[in-house]
Structure 1
Amino acid sequence: MDTQQNTALLRALTELPGPLPTSGVIHVVIRHTDRFTVVGNDLAQHPGLSTTAVGFAVRIQSLPQGAEVGIKALAARFPEGERLIAAALRELEAHGYLQRARERLPNGRIVTRTVYCNQPSALLRPLNAAPHQPATRQTPQPAPPPDRNPARVPAPAPPPRLVPALTLPARPVPVPATTPQPVPVPVPAPEPLPPLATTPPRDDPAPPPRPRPTVPPVPPPTAPKPPPRPLPQPRELTPELHRAATALLADLRRHTPEFTLSEDDIQQLAPAVAAWLEREAHPDTIRHVLTDDPPRPLKQPARLLKHRLTALLPPPLPGVHDLAVPARRVTVTPFQTCDGCERAFRSPTPGRCRDCRTGHAQAAA
């Protein structure tokens, strides 16, 4: 199959007219008759767009109206990942080719409306109106003179080029030979209608061109990202903790070759590992958390370790007193001595007992 394709391409090169260049690309152009998309050189050779962004712009431009062009829809259709697609769409937004806005439908649902323009630079130029060309007046052609010979029928005059003139040629009326032939009287031709004017008269000034509103600049695609969290630090970086942390980081490549770190990376990450060891995390547990399920391919292991050491930092182990269940306290009401009968009764405040309060209330009534 490869040999056939190469043979066909070589045969096409021999059929190209003119001398071929000695270096560089040679184009074999076959005209498309269906299923093609016109792409301008301002997009194909854009100096500020990456090749991935140009490719996705062409792919979006080739899709029909109403097609889904979200990140997940493009990731399901094409082999690129969501992160690469999102970066390409942000580039197209920054250069004005793409604009995404969130709108609320009448039913309350929020959707993202995507607008794509194949030539955003043309939107910033004012629309130049085409100059008016006044309609040319046509001079009506005179009717042909009537033919004196009734036996010959004259050919009708050709109509005007734009508007046919309603000119009726004079036709003689034949009579029988037995009767004397009168002199034919030509029928006067009606005046031709004036040509239909498709544009205003010459004397009327042309209306000034209406300036087209310029498109506002594209807003930034995303909000500014918060600053990264700092690496955790131990309360006291002792020489023992620092030695154990550097040894654990240097030993990662023995278990997972992708995590081969430089000496500068080990010195930068050692305090964070010391913070984990200070919180009594086991070295095997730290090694498993840092190297478990890395992305493929792993390009920057130090950045991945920095993120995991910061985001997955465990809390300090609780002490013995923190794990003890607090005892339930029971409030006991103290005894009081009644001021009336000297009996003991429970009450938070001193005073009379219930019987004395009842008898005192009845005596007062």
Structure 2
Amino acid sequence: MGTQQITAPPCVKPGASGVIHSNVRHTAGFTVIGNHLAQHRGLSLVAVGLAVHIQSLPAGAKIGIKRLAERFPESETRIAAALRELGAAGYLHRSRVRLADGRIVTRTVSYNQPGADAPATTAAQPRSARSTAVPAPVIAARPPLTAPPEPAPPPAAVVVPSPTARTASPAPLPQPQALTPELQSVAAALLSNLRRHAPQLLLSEEDIRTLVPGIVTWLERDAHADTIRHALTTDLPVPLTTLLPPPLPGTHELEAARPRVIVIPLQNCDRCDRAFRSRHPGHCRDCRTDLPTAA
């Protein structure tokens, strides 16, 4: 007989207040959740429940904000806030990855115990094997006589950090010449309105404060709001630096490129007071006597 699993106090005094556990041992179709998550004091109840749901899903399941909002009664705003809580606590890491064909996908990694390295054998086990009550014994294989061939390296993927992901060395954002309150207000409103065009870009107040100087730089260079919005919803935040338009040419550059037109000033005839164009004052054509006349 197997060892009895005790998950609650065996005896409860009659009439005592508090929860009373009535547990049945699971033999299939269950997920192990640590008390560090179930009793986490820094996470909201929505975040804890969302973490439990994500850890119960099979590998490759879609957990976008819209998909979760269709599954649960909570709004997209609350689900996005819960995802940020899990990311800050280390239970979730979301990043944007550019594939070899140019497509950008969101890669999500769920950690059932943040800070601990997962054993290499658990990733290769099928879901049915992980759901059994007693784990299968691991038999060490005899080392081969010759060294096995080295596996081919996986294709390189360019990882684009999401707005909420914090990298060790983020790309520096462009800095404006004058960070005026008017431009800051316009930039903040543009960033806050991004979620209406791309629901996955639900930026926090800290993200907006970080990105405002870069948006102000675009506005200083006379970039249209639709142009900025298209760049942000395509690949945030790389375009703020890589696609930044050049400064508008100044007045002296425009004057240098413009062809010069020589204007001859107007003069008044000294004899008949008629206006005529000439570089020097004198007489008009009719009053000049030095011009040859027709025969």
Range into which the TM-score falls when normalised by the shorter chain:
0.3 to 0.5
TM-score w.r.t. length of structure 1: 0.33
Identify which of structures 1 and 2 has the higher relative contact order when contacts are C-alpha pairs closer than 8 Å and 6+ apart: 2
| TM-score, structure 2 normalization | 0.40
Greater Cα radius of gyration, structure 1 or 2:
1
